[in-house]
Amino acid sequence: QKEVEQNSGPLSVPEGAIASLNCTYSDRGSQSFFWYRQYSGKSPELIMSIYSNGDKEDGRFTAQLNKASQYVSLLIRDSQPSDSATYLCAVNGGTYKYIFGTGTRLKVLA
Amino acid sequence: GAGVSQTPSNKVTEKGKYVELRCDPISGHTALYWYRQSLGQGPEFLIYFQGTGAADDSGLPNDRFFAVRPEGSVSTLKIQRTERGDSAVYLCASSLLTPASGISAFFGQGTRLTVV
């Protein structure tokens, strides 16, 4: 079992819809969770971090964390074509290591 | 600097050659990470520095790979006797603190290494 699992996609949504990206992790001791966006040929850029159960909202983005189910998700409201990218989920491995999933490719259709 | 800077952005080398990849982290960031990313994969952890010391090098694939950070700022990833399988994008990231504290890492633009 991989430490961080994501569906590779592509996930296709129409412009203006809500995109829902999911991630599960295996280490119950993980405390911090991060979502990065990566455009093709570019490096990952941080979108959000979350470490408490529940929802955290930032603009059109909402991160959701459920530690009991070992599940973290990212919702993107009013999706735009410019949101088309690969979304990487990362969790802390121990105190200092970031462990990444393989990423979910999102395509927002105009 | 304003962000994490990596040089060169692209490197093409012949199999068997030695290469050095440089990373200049965000000023004041004591934690520095090297990751490797292959096409269609997420970043794979290689090594973590806290200050000058390599606190965890468990991700280095073999002894051909070595990294240093002599003054606690700039880091160099060194690869000896390169192989075609070493071809990937090498990413450097830095952060103020560790991820367990909820602090995020910020990535440089990466070095695309191609071994021919």
Residue A84: phi and psi, rounded to 5, are -65, 120
Indicate whether A40 pLDDT > 60. yes
**How far apart (Å, rounded) are the C-alpha atoms in residues A107 and A102?**
16
**What is the amino acid identity at position A31?**
Q
Q: Which residue of B has its CA nearest to A6?
A: B42
Strand locations in chain B (E): 5-7, 10-13, 19-24, 31-37, 44-50, 53-56, 65-68, 75-79, 88-95, 106-107, 111-115
What are the chain A neighbours of B3 within 8 Å (beta carbons)? none
Give the largest Cα separation in chain B, rounded.
42
pLDDT tens track of chain B, all 116 residues?
589 999 999 999 999 999 999 999 999 898 999 999 999 999 999 999 988 888 899 999 999 999 999 998 999 999 999 999 999 999 999 988 766 666 788 999 999 999 99
Residue of chain A with shortest Cα separation from B6:
A43
Residue-wise pLDDT tens digits, A63-83: 999 999 999 999 999 999 999
Task: Provide the b/e sequence for A75-97 (b: ≥16 CB within 10 Å).
Answer: bbeebeeebbbbbbbbbbbeebb
